[in-house]
Amino acid sequence: MPLTGLGGRLAIGYITDMDLKSKRVIALDEKVSARTYSPLPVVLTRGKGVYVFDAAGKRYFDMLSAYSALNQGHQHPKIVGAAKRQLSRIALTSRAFHNDQMGPFLEKLCRVTGKEMAVPMNSGAEAVETAIKTMRLWGYRVKGIPSDMAEIIVVADNFHGRTTTIVGFSSDPDARTDFGPAMPGFRVIPFDDAQALENAITENTCGFLVEPIQGEAGVRIPAPGYLTDVRRICTEKKVLFCADEIQTGFGRTGRPFCVDHDGVVPDLFVLGKALSGGLYPISAVVGDNKILGLFESGTHGSTFGGNPLASAIGAAAIDVVVKEKLAKNSAAMGELFLEKLISLDHPLIREVRGQGLLLALEFKKPIAKDFCKLLLKGGLLAKDTHDYTVRFSPPLIIKKSQLDAAFKIIAVAMNAIKERE
């Protein structure tokens, strides 16, 4: 079922009027970069706020926000300013020495999460690996699980990163095929099924790792009360509740953290992406002293984790989220965006869903990537996932007028879809 592009032109494949420089950039990328991604045919060179610009100067709405790493928008002046100031002083010291930025940064992070202690890392996957180590450490030292017997429960269709440990408990064939053998110690249960969690827990279970909303799976939102039941079960069974809020945290879903919708507090937060404001890889695991205080010198670490440049950026990124009330704007604009997407009422749409500014448009046929190419042609960047779903997650600074303009592009693209007999 081909899709007819905007203005009647075919929108599948490379854009024919792409400038020569962009074609050369793409050709070089494809020559020297392993093909772990299949990006849309656009070369981005600049970003500001909710917009990005290609090599020819064309402006696009960024409706991916680097998988929610840009909640504060591109090049937020307060975050960029903090980075520049710190770059003029010192960027890296290693944790072999103290620096004057990490403590204030982690104190701020603990304050917004309501926790006592944090382990700073770099990528989201590193933070998840840290959380896995943390849950196992607690299981052996506190719960008394026999050595090498600790088990962590995860859910189907999860996405927690790309390390060999993490893909070993993924249910996505693309993520795990040919990367085995899988590491033992993980049990997979259905998502949004509290009874399955309760049934799966054994005396050797040390933790439950879950995304409050499954982003990569297509913005799958659990039923109200699911996380409330998870919190109760984990408490009763003496299991750590670990919330992976790498993608859903810092206002993305209309609350400071996604777990706030159910009014629960996990034992551990896994955080990343927007913690950096899009400037630098920053992640962390945050919890209380009775858990994270179990680590001792030499049992975990990171050359770059907690470095002064990352800490200065992270502190500024948190300030922007809090002081500019991005969670509140996400809730308001997300409600409006959801209403607009529902109003499309197209026969090829199976479902529209979302919470805050994390939304999805699911089709009845595998046309999601082709639809994203139509959006690209119209001046909007979005990401397909699993063939059927397009995810929309703009920067949380987006205004109503900008959202209205972006939706017009989406509506035009929907009207351009035509089935051929």
Tens digits of per-residue pLDDT, 54-102?
999 999 999 999 999 999 999 999 999 999 999 999 999 999 999 999 9
Could you say which of 108, 273, 373, 377 is catalytic?
A: 273
Say what the pLDDT of residue 176 is: 87
Neighbours of 170 (CB within 10 A): 24
Token pair recorded at residue 368: 């999601």
Does this model's pTM top 0.85? My answer is yes
Q: Is 377 a catalytic residue?
A: no
pLDDT at 8 over 80: no
Say what the pLDDT of residue 420 is: 34
Say if CB 114 and CB 269 are below 8 A apart: no
Say what the pLDDT of residue 419 is: 52
pLDDT at 287 over 50: yes
pLDDT at 361 over 90: yes
What whole-number percentage of the chain has pLDDT above 70?
95
Measured between its terminal Cα atoms, the distance across the chain in Å is 8
Say if CB 295 and CB 137 are below 8 A apart: yes
Could you say which of 62, 229, 244, 267 is catalytic?
A: 244
pLDDT at 325 over 90: yes
Task: Delineate the domains of the chain, giving CATH numbers in brackets.
Answer: 6-72+328-416 (3.90.1150.10), 77-323 (3.40.640.10)
Could you say which of 61, 159, 208, 363 is catalytic?
A: 159
Mean of the pLDDT values across residues 241-261?
98
| Mean pLDDT lowest among 18-22, 131-135, 352-356 | 18-22
Q: Is 328 a catalytic residue?
A: no
Mean of the pLDDT values across residues 41-54?
97
Residue 20 binned pLDDT confidence (cut-offs 50, 70, 90): confident
Q: Is 97 a catalytic residue?
A: no
Say what the pLDDT of residue 418 is: 66
Token pair recorded at residue 205: 């279970």
